[in-house]
Chain A
Amino acid sequence: MKAFATLLDRLSYEPRRNEKLRHIVRYLREAPDPDRGYALAALCGALDIPAVKPAMLRALVAERVDPVLFGLSYDFVGDLSETIALIWPAQFTGSNNAPLHLAEVISTLLSASRREGPQLIARWLDDLDETGRWALLKLVTGALRVGVSALLARQALAEFSGHPVEEIEEVWHGVEPPYTDLLAWLEGRGPRPDPSAALTFRSPMLAHPIEDEDFETLQPADFHAEWKWDGIRIQAATRRNGLARDVRLFSRSGDDITTSFPDLIEALPENAVIDGELVVARDALIATFSDLQQRLNRKVVSAAMLRDSPVALMAYDLLQVEGEDLRPLPLPQRLARLEALVAAKAHPRLMLSPAVPFESWEALAEKRAQSAENAAIEGVMLKRLDSPYLAGRPKGFWYKWKRDPMIADCVMMYAQRGHGKRSSYYSDFTFGVWEGEKLVPVGKAYFGFTDEELKGLDRFVRQNTINRFGPVREVVHEPQSGLVLEIAFEGLQESTRHRSGLAMRFPRIHRIRTDKKPAEADRIETLRSLLRSG
């Protein structure tokens, strides 16, 4: 446990990717099996320990610390595990417990009931120092937040073993924690794990944002255009083997999200790997991202959710079919194969993302602007006709061209502390516009500013608080005193959530207008006119 705690501690303070890799590689070289495999699983987010849940940890700490003080501390620290690790009353138990092993923690917890889980955790917390407590809680809750993605962890495996990361990716989804077979293979002590036992993830091809000057050099005739859907990018892989059928849905980063979307399974053709956008679709109507959000990160999907927010796949590329790797083929050939596959399946939850025909960049710009009518469309994608399917973000092949955002001057009204990276600063802001003589809230924003600007915003909140409602502070918002925020947003919808009856999409702080008085901020009528035009 100590080696793992040291590793997590170092990773949490190390900003540089290469140094993070070095720390992980060193740990993999020094730690024994099966500890290191479990550590790897923790870094990849592949551990799920049912006997421990955050609510249970809160209950544990509530037995030992004044709940008000705990609440204020959590509000400041912004991370549950860290707050508990810091606030846990240190006690010398006088025990001579042997040092805790990572594998022992995990195997003990995996066989523990929900009643035993808390008792085990409490005993270990009493025996560990602060860093150890923090690492234990991070491990068992699965929310590490040390800036290591599953991809980076696999890159560390590549560096550790000298095998290219692509080779590791090919077998990754066929192996399970604590990965002793994988590590044995990587160290040349065992056979290659058989990836055919499971469907594997292929690194997706990503797009660059297009720049104005790109249009001067790029030729419209060289490109295929399609809508940029506001869903989540997924890779759907299927295999039929006699009676057995295996289906995997992977997120863009390779996480297996199959269990969240049972309603998509039957729509997928056999023995294919499709790249596309997961969207909520009611009949043929594609819903907005906020509808899809309800469906994300759920392990259990209710019947009501399946009925009210059914998902569909908007397919736009085909990587493999019947064992044939299509990735080296040019885009039009892959699209032709995809179209045939979608047509043959003829399932309403499987759609082909339609091509957007255009003659000139001006004509495409016009279509992109018109697409604002459809809230499920973020803009257009441009893909070179001669592009093979390349892993990563290769230059010069795929571009994304999002719509221009709308802008409004609003006044900060309330603020709340953020979590994670922004914890302990006031970083969630509710802002409003004028309706008659009064300000009405129209939205909330918690990004768009730099760390430096955040400090200024935080200071403004602390020095201009006029009211406190629990964690929420009301800040001064009078015509002549207050803070004007220029808010950029991607669209406007009618909503009952705010008193103004309007809701912004993706609102973010575009600029902090210290040069303006709140009296100069926009009026609700201006926003309503955008609603009509947009």
Chain B
Amino acid sequence: MRPSDLLHPRPEGLYCPPGDFYVDPLRPVPRALITHGHSDHARPGHGAVMASRETLAIMALRLGEGFCETRQEAIIGEWVTINGVEVAFFPAGHVLGSCQIALRWKGLTIVVSGDYKREPDATAAPFEVVTCDVFVTEATFGLPVFRHPDPAKEVGKLLASLQENPHRAHLVGAYSLGKAQRLIRHLREAGYDRPVYLHGALERVTAYYEETGIALGPLARAAGLPRGSLAGEILLCPPSALADIWSRRFAEPLTVAASGWMRVRARARQRGVELPLVISDHADWDGLRQTILETGAGEIWVTHGQEDALVHWCLGQGLAAQPLHLVGFGEEAAEDAA
């Protein structure tokens, strides 16, 4: 039996023929298993959806209650059988509710990582290594230039800039699911106790994080504030809002972005970012390599990102490796979520 008998790409997404289901499909399918709530992985219109409780809740928040016909909550670490294929969800450490999905069939185990990171994050359950034969990994930051620094150091830059520029509103572009909430937690851990202001697009997901028991400290709405306000304050917004006319209404806005892409100067400049913070919810080059080795997998499939370099490295380690060339992944990640 070949691993591709258990899982292979189709135009709709990664498909499991014996189980007759898809993992993170790009188009509506009868049965989908979803790793996490980012829109390039969690799309509306499927028949049955299985995901962690948090991912289901986030999908309902962002896509509407009718995002699928039937929902099934995956209990973390518990194996269930779908058409003879054993399936289990394990934490991926990417955002709240994010999971890897393990498939077991006829003695073969494949783990689909979805998106993941290895750094500690108080807003997401930590990544759990699952031993497998085939590891399907992302490669958003699969180049040796990507090494994410300590987030505390990056947050320190933001706090220093507040001191240095008390007359300017600090607008931080951070993706609405995951990055924004994690950034708030890092600010609290650094002792920042002022209210953090939120763009409207961040309110619902952030409220949901708090409902699950993640303490985020004082938060305030940015909507309805008079022109020229928020000097010396932090306002979180979706990255796309940084370039909006909306952002110009605050006091001499200083453009900040929190993303792994900020490690490359041209990327920051292309987006007009004045203060780049390298904070990512994806594994960096070291994290990807460490994880691949720890899973013990002899075969690595690379879904999206800088697949060429990671495949090259795997081959050098004596691991079988190939890119999957799934179209459509990483679009949200490339623009915002990374």
Interface residues of chain A, those whose CB is within 8 Å of chain B, are: 12-15, 65-66, 68-70, 72-73, 76-79, 82-83, 86-87, 420-425, 451, 455, 459, 463
Q: How far is the CA of A421 from the CA of B268 in the complex (A)?
A: 10
In the complex, which of the residues A14, A15, A69, A78 contacts B143, with contact meaning CB atoms closer than 8 Å?
A69
20 extra interface residue pairs, beta carbon distance < 8 Å, beyond A79-B266, A421-B266, A459-B331: A13-B265, A13-B273, A13-B275, A14-B274, A66-B313, A69-B144, A72-B308, A73-B145, A76-B145, A76-B306, A77-B145, A77-B264, A78-B266, A86-B146, A87-B144, A87-B145, A422-B266, A424-B264, A425-B270, A451-B270
Point out the residues of chain A lying under 8 angstroms from B308, CB to CB.
72
Contact A72 B266 (CB under 8 A): no
Nearest CB in chain B to that of A83: its residue: B145
Residue of A nearest to B142 (CB): A72
Q: CB within 8 Å of A: which of B11-48?
A: none
Contact of B145 with A421 in the complex, beta carbons under 8 Å: no
Check: B156 CB closer than 8 A to any chain A CB.
no
- A421 and B306 form a contact (CB under 8 A): no
Residues of A near B158 (CB, < 8 A) are none
B316 is an interface residue with CB less than 8 A from chain A: yes
Kindly state the separation between the CA atoms of A348 and B231 in the bound complex, as whole angstroms.
65
Q: Please, which residue of chain A has its CB at the minimum distance from the CB of B262?
A: A13
In contact, B312 and A69 (Cβ under 8 angstroms): yes
Known: A76-B143, A87-B144, A463-B327. A13 touches B266 (CB 8 A): no
B267 proximal to A (CB < 8 A): yes
CA distance A70 to B263 in the complex (A): 16
Interface residue total, chain B, C-beta cutoff 8 A: 28
In the complex, what residues of A have CB within 8 A of residue B205's CB? none
Q: Which of A15, A65, A77, A459 contacts B266 (CB 8 A)?
A: A77
List 13 contacting pairs A-B, 8 Å CB cutoff, sorted by A: A13-B274, A13-B275, A14-B274, A15-B269, A66-B312, A68-B309, A68-B312, A69-B143, A76-B264, A86-B147, A421-B269, A425-B270, A455-B335
Neighbouring B residues of A68 by C-beta, 8 Å: 309, 312
Answer whether residue B178 sits at the interface, using C-beta atoms and an 8 A cutoff: no
User: Could you tell me the distance in whole angstroms from the C-beta of A26 to the nearest C-beta in chain B?
Assistant: 12
Kindly name the residue among A82, A83, A86, A459 whose own CB sees the greatest number of chain B CB atoms within 10 A. A86
Q: How far is the CA of A425 from the CA of B270 in the complex (A)?
A: 10
**Is B77 among interface residues, defined by CB-CB distance under 8 A?**
no
User: Which of B267, B273, B309, B331 contacts A69 (CB under 8 A)?
Assistant: B309
Shortest CB distance A420–B (Å) = 7
Query: For the complex, what is the distance from the CA of A87 to the CA of B143, rounded to whole Å?
Result: 9
Residues of B within 8 A of A463 (CB): 327-328
Q: Is B114 an interface residue (CB 8 A)?
A: no
Find chain B residues with CB under 8 A from A77 CB: 145, 264, 266
Name the distance in Å between B142's Cβ and chain A's nearest Cβ. Answer: 9
| Nearest chain A residue, comparing its CB with the CB of B274 | A13
CB proximity of A14 to chain B, nearest CB, Å = 6
Say whether, besides A12-B269, A13-B265, A73 and B274 are in contact (CB < 8 Å). no
Report B271-285 CB contacts with A as 1/0, cut-off 8 Å: 011111000000000
Say yes or no: A15-B263 contact (C-beta < 8 A), given A86-B145, A87-B144.
Answer: no
Shortest beta-carbon distance from B318 to chain A in Å: 15
User: How far apart are the CA atoms of A277 and B225 in the complex, in Å?
Assistant: 56
| Bound Cα distance from A459 to B332, whole angstroms | 12
Instruction: Report how far A87 CA is from B306 CA in the complex, Å.
Output: 15
Q: Find chain A residues with CB under 8 A from B312 CB.
A: 66, 68-69, 72
The answer for the CA separation of A83 and B309 in the assembled complex, in Å, is 15
Beta-carbon contacts under 8 Å, B300-317 to A: 306, 308-309, 312-313, 316
Query: Could you tell me if B145 and A13 are in contact, using CB atoms closer than 8 angstroms?
Result: no
User: In the complex the two chains form, what is the Cα distance from A76 to B276 in whole Å?
Assistant: 18
Which of A15, A78, A79, A87 touches B274 (beta carbons < 8 Å)?
A15
Q: Which residue of A lies closest to B143 (CB)?
A: A73
Query: Whole-angstrom distance from the CB of A309 to the nearest CB of chain B?
Result: 34
Q: Are A79 and B309 in contact (CB under 8 A)?
A: no
Q: Nearest chain-A residue to B316 (Cβ)? A: A66
Bound together, the chains give a CA A68 to CA B269 distance in angstroms of 27
Contact indicator A424/B331 (Cβ below 8 Å): no
Compute how far the CA of A69 lies from the CA of B275 in the bound complex, rounded to whole angstroms.
28
Q: What's the minimum C-beta distance from A143 to chain B, rounded to whole angstroms?
A: 13
